[in-house]
Structure 1
Amino acid sequence: MNTIDEQLWDYIDGNLDAAQASIIKEKIDTDAEVKNQYEELLRFNLTFDKIELEEPSMSFTRNVMESVAIVPAPVAMKTQVDKKIIYSIGGFFIISLLALFGYVLYNSNLTMPGFDQKINFNFNLDKYITPTTVYSFLFADLVIGLIFLDRFLRDKIVQSKKI
């Protein structure tokens, strides 16, 4: 549609303000071609007003919802990556790191003059392992075990609901 058609439709529908409506009214009165378009659009508007809108049947919504319920829900697409590719990439990086480590060892001087430190490995474990630390360790293990058990049982429930 061109702008005059749009303006005429807005004039017919009453969507224009007073200033714009007076401008369109003046165009209709002065220009014969615009007047013919206006009269034609008025006839279309009267024809549209006479047409009765069809209403869907009372069970339309129910029928649509039943047909939607029959269609299976789309499943998320799960792409499978070949494990050989993952292992080969991992192997490449491990071999690269080992080669780099070997190169560094080959080109380095491993002599350490003056490293005559004597380290005493006698630890008094009774000083560090007290009943409080043992109970704290067991409590932490119990909490972690309960969290694991909760997660495991929730996964079982979800899997049983899917089936």
Structure 2
Amino acid sequence: MNTIEQQLWEYIDGDLDEFSKKAIEEKIKSDARIKVQYEELLKLNSAFSALDLDEPSMSFTRNVMESIALAPAPVAMKTKVDKKIIYAIGGFFIVSLLFLFGYSIYSSNLSMPKLDFNFNFNLDRYITPTVLYSFLFFDLVIGLVFLDQFLRKRINKEH
């Protein structure tokens, strides 16, 4: 909507102050295009005024409220977690804890002087930096696989 049309609507509605009202009246008298546009807007305004507004029936609100009352209440969504995922995560943590426990026993020197009982495992030839790095790499790959499965299931649920 251009500014002159907006000013004409405000003039027709009586929303202008005296100075603006006089300026619009002068524009209508001096410019033929604005006068034609003003007359068209007056006809359109009178057509709008002649229209009867439809009103809803007296029982509209009651009917809407009854239809809402008849609709079943939404049930809370119950999510189902795949037990395989739980077992896999639990297994990962159990294996990791067993590894840490074994490593702590390996690195400790348990001795009982009264019983003359010595635990000193020689696992240096089995637990090398390569084995440790391989174990960590395997854990990383398994973690990424589980993360991929989790994200794919989440995306499929959303779509």
Classify the TM-score, shorter chain: 0.5 to 0.7
Could you say which residue in structure 1 is the equivalent of 2:96?
Answer: 96
The 3 A distance-change label for structure 1 pair 60 and 110 is same
**SS of equivalent residue, structure 1 residue 33:** helix
Could you say which residue in structure 2 is the equivalent of 1:26?
Answer: 26
The one-letter code sitting in structure 1 at the alignment partner of 2:4 is: I
**SS of equivalent residue, structure 1 residue 15:** coil
Deviation track 1:38-64 (CA, whole Å, cap 9, x = no partner) reads: 211111111111112122221111111
The one-letter code sitting in structure 2 at the alignment partner of 1:105 is: I
The 3 A distance-change label for structure 1 pair 15 and 102 is farther
Give the number of equivalent residue pairs: 113
Q: Displacement of 1:20 after TM fit? A: 3.7
Could you say which residue in structure 2 is the equivalent of 1:75?
Answer: 75
Could you say which residue in structure 2 is the equivalent of 1:15?
Answer: 15
Aligned 1:140-159 pairs, distance under 5 A? none
Deviation track 1:106-159 (CA, whole Å, cap 9, x = no partner) reads: 13344599xxxxxxxxxxxxxxxxxxxxxxxxxxxxxxxxxxxxxxxxxxxxxx
Single out whichever of 89-98 and 36-45 deviates more from structure 2.
89-98
The 3 A distance-change label for structure 1 pair 18 and 111 is farther
Percent identity for Structure 1 against Structure 2: 68
Q: Which runs of 5+ in 1 are unaligned?
A: 114-163
Which structure 1 residue ranges, 4+ long, deviate > 6 Å from structure 2?
none
Q: Please provide the CA RMSD for this pair.
A: 2.5
Q: Which runs of 5+ in 2 are unaligned?
A: 114-159
What is the TM-score when the length of structure 1 is the normalising length?
Answer: 0.57
CA distance in 1, matches of 2:19, 2:111: 98
